[in-house]
Structure 1
Amino acid sequence: MRVRHPQCPEWGIGQIQSVVGQRVTVNFENAGKVMIRSDLIALIPLEPNES
C-alpha cells in the first residue's frame, strides 16, 4: 500500500513494508525507511493511480 505522512509531506510517497501490531515500517521516497506508530499517526492511503 502507498501512503503519505500527514505531517511530513516533504517525505513524499511511502510504500508500507511491514506492520507489526501498532508499528508500521514505511519506505518514503525522500526520507527512507521510517517506523511509525499507527496509534499516534494516521497515514493517508493513496489510490492506485494517485501520485
Structure 2
Amino acid sequence: MRVRLPDRPDWGEGQVQSVAGDRITVNFENAGKVMILRAQSRLESVEEGR
C-alpha cells in the first residue's frame, strides 16, 4: 500500500512494509524506513497510478 504522512510532506510517498499491532513500518522516498505509531500519526492512502 502506498501512503503519505501529511505532517511530513518532505518525506514523499511511502510503501508500507509491515504492520504489527500499533506499529507501522513505512519506507519513504526521502526519509527511508520509519516506524510510525498508529495512534500518534495519520497516514493517508495514495491512489495507485499516480
- Normalised by the size of structure 2, how large is the TM-score? 0.95
Give, in whole Å, the separation in 2 of the partners of 1:8 and 1:16: 16
Where do 5+ consecutive residues of structure 2 fail to align?
A: none
1:16 is matched with 16
The secondary structure found in structure 1 opposite 2:48 is coil
2-side partners of 1:47 and 1:29: how far apart?
16
Unpaired runs of at least 5, structure 1: none
**Alpha-carbon distance in structure 2 between the residues aligned to 1:8 and 1:38:** 15
Per-residue CA deviation, residues 16-50 of structure 1 (Å, 9 max, x unaligned), is 00000010000000000000001110101011122
Cα distance in 1, alignment partners of residues 23 and 35 from structure 2: 6
Amino acid at match of 2:13: I
Q: Percent identity?
A: 58
Paired residue for 2:41? 41
Aligned AA (1:19): V
- Structure 1: 4+ residue segments shifted above 6 A: none
